[in-house]
Chains A and B, each alone.
Chain A
Amino acid sequence: MNSRESVLLKNADRPGPAGIDEYGEWGGYRSLHKALSMEPGQVLDEVKKSGLRGRGGAGFPTGMKWSFAVADPQTQKYLLCNADEGEPGTFKDRIIIEKNPHLLIEGMVISAYAVGAASGYIYLRGEYPKAKDILLRAIKEAYEKNYLGDSILGKGVVFHLHIHCGAGAYICGEETALIESLEGKRGQPRIKPPFPVNEGFSSKPTVVNNVETLANIPYILEIGGDEYAKIGSPECPGLKLFSVSGHVKRPGVYELPMGVTLREIIYTHCGGIRGDRKLKGVIPGGVSTPVLLPDTIDCPMDFFHLGKVGSMLGSGAVIVFDETVDMVKVCLRITKFFEHESCGKCTPCREGVSWLRAVLERMSNGSGRGGDKDLLTEVSNNIAGKTFCPLGENAAAAVQSFVNNFGDEFKEKIKSG
């Protein structure tokens, strides 16, 4: 499996972005030609058969999401690309955009054709100014070659694509908050239902897909849904990008089949722990996902198996901690992040996460009080399940995972206080 030629990271080790001619030489936009020779419903069927699930974090089946939008009787539909890659530890979408912008554009045009969307936006996080310039140039090239516009490839298919920049709000990665932000509002999540596939941008049926999800589409068309479904885990197949950071010898983005184990990622692909120190813990999918102990690293990395060991695949952002790390401090930093990024709409999240931060801060300072560990649990339980979106719930679950897995370190902070 390791010898598989890169798809999403094709030629990504070269400096600079691939221009449209270069992308064409590698076979780029061939899948678009193929897709436009099929009926939209046939394209949708291939994606359904592929078993592709959303790569942004939630893992919702892509084909199913598309079919809901297709089934909505309103004719004006939108396709939005979620490029608000804000989950701490994640830097995979940036590589796709900065190295292979046309892969994303081709994926979007095919997807728009399948769902019947005539216009789309890439919601790009404000922290990626270089990616914006690269995308603007690539979109211009695609218009010139008739891959975007009023009659794509002369077949009368319409799709217009624009970039919309975020301005530093993690919550806008949540799809309804993203839509609010695109509409010029504060990025606060909406209550669901209605789901965006029925009532999204400008109240029209809207499909929101992550960059990596869309970048998989040309390959699915190329090899067919059935072949794609044979890659990696049978439960949730396909290619996955893992952003690996922290105390490994070779941090970076790795394209691997779903279901690769954390052990393989850390010790085979990333060369093991720096200084050959001992592994203390690992966050498998960004700071929103519960931390794992070394004895669980043989778990396959996919949406299905990580749930069984009490965590989640999230965005596939692996953060590795060696034995020197102060886990109470890490837990505090994560909680500060969620406190800063809570949009303020739901009281349990807005107030509760601040409380968690305050308790962790005093523990980290060595002035924890007896009962603080239980207080963290109590406050966490009053956030989970009581909010519009998963932000507060993820903060609570992250804190609980640190307290449960590294309880002795937390106790130590009380004793010494």
Chain B
Amino acid sequence: MALDNKILDEINELKRKYEDERSCLLPALYLFQREYGWLSPEALERVAEILNIPKATVKGVSTFYAMFSHKPMGRHLIQLCTNVACMIMGGERLLDILKGRYGLEPNLTTPDRRFSLVIMECIGACDTAPAMLVDTDLHGNLTEENIIGILERYE
């Protein structure tokens, strides 16, 4: 596939960064996730082949890290923090708002595949708690009133 060739080129580029190819594993998983939105069993197999690492090892590593998805995700990923600083500033109440407006619950995707929701363990935005990442955009000082307005910008 053309797409895979592009990833192959990027992985070959990556190999120059490291003495041992095994170090390319996390970056390679990121590349496949970037292209396909998630890491399918086939994607994990491709990574194993390309880097010559046992399939089981690739799966073992991939599933260790919270930011790798092993099921299809929505077009936009909402990463909402509910750790201590966000919790005491009202972060948990935002979950009710998301459920009410989009029927969205943690680790699920809306039926129209617009949003997926993941609960985060501190995204380092505690001074603007409660906060969330939508894809790669950071949004802080969230309230029950403003969160929907922010999310409506993501089609």
Chain A residue, CB-CB nearest to B82? A333
B83 adjacent to A337 (CB under 8 Å): yes
A169 adjacent to B66 (CB under 8 Å): yes
Compute how far the CA of A185 lies from the CA of B57 in the bound complex, rounded to whole angstroms.
8
Chain B residue, CB-CB nearest to A187? B64
Tell me the minimal C-beta distance from B43 to chain A in angstroms.
15
B residues within 8 A CB of A168?
65-68, 120-121
Pick the contact of A91: B68, B120, B126 (CB < 8 A).
Answer: B126
B87 adjacent to A245 (CB under 8 Å): no
In this assembly, does A94 line the interface, its C-beta being within 8 Å of a C-beta of chain B?
Answer: yes
Chain A residue, CB-CB nearest to B60? A186
A residues within 8 A CB of B53?
184
Most-contacted residue by chain B among A165, A181, A184, A337 (CB, 10 A): A184
In this assembly, does A164 line the interface, its C-beta being within 8 Å of a C-beta of chain B?
Answer: yes
Residues of B58-79 whose CB lies within 8 A of A: 60-61, 64-68, 79
Q: Given A91-B127, A167-B29, decide whether A126 and B20 contact each other with a Cβ distance below 8 A.
A: no
Count B interface residues, CB 8 Å: 41
In this assembly, does A202 line the interface, its C-beta being within 8 Å of a C-beta of chain B?
Answer: yes
A residues within 8 A CB of B67?
126-127, 167-168
B127 adjacent to A253 (CB under 8 Å): yes
Residues of B112-155 whose CB lies within 8 A of A: 120-129, 133, 136, 138
Compute how far the CA of A168 lies from the CA of B78 in the bound complex, rounded to whole angstroms.
15
Quick check: which of A82-90, A101-109, A214-222, A377-385 contacts chain B, the rest being far away? A82-90
A91 adjacent to B136 (CB under 8 Å): no
Flag A331-372 by CB within 8 Å of B: 1 or 0 each: 001100100110100000000000000000000000000000
Q: Given A88-B122, A184-B24, A186-B61, decide whether A325 and B127 contact each other with a Cβ distance below 8 A.
A: no
In this assembly, does A243 line the interface, its C-beta being within 8 Å of a C-beta of chain B?
Answer: yes
Chain A residue, CB-CB nearest to B16? A162
B124 adjacent to A94 (CB under 8 Å): yes
B127 adjacent to A245 (CB under 8 Å): yes
Q: Given A245-B129, A287-B84, decide whether A85 and B138 contact each other with a Cβ distance below 8 A.
A: no
Compute how far the CA of A183 lies from the CA of B61 in the bound complex, rounded to whole angstroms.
11
In this assembly, does B85 line the interface, its C-beta being within 8 Å of a C-beta of chain A?
Answer: yes
Chain A residue, CB-CB nearest to B129? A245
In this assembly, does A330 line the interface, its C-beta being within 8 Å of a C-beta of chain B?
Answer: yes
Q: Given A243-B126, A245-B127, decide whether A333 and B87 contact each other with a Cβ distance below 8 A.
A: yes
Chain B residue, CB-CB nearest to A329? B87
Given A168-B65, A251-B129: 16 more A-B contacts, CB < 8 Å:
A85-B124, A88-B122, A127-B67, A127-B133, A128-B124, A164-B27, A169-B66, A182-B23, A184-B51, A185-B61, A245-B129, A246-B85, A283-B84, A319-B85, A330-B88, A337-B83
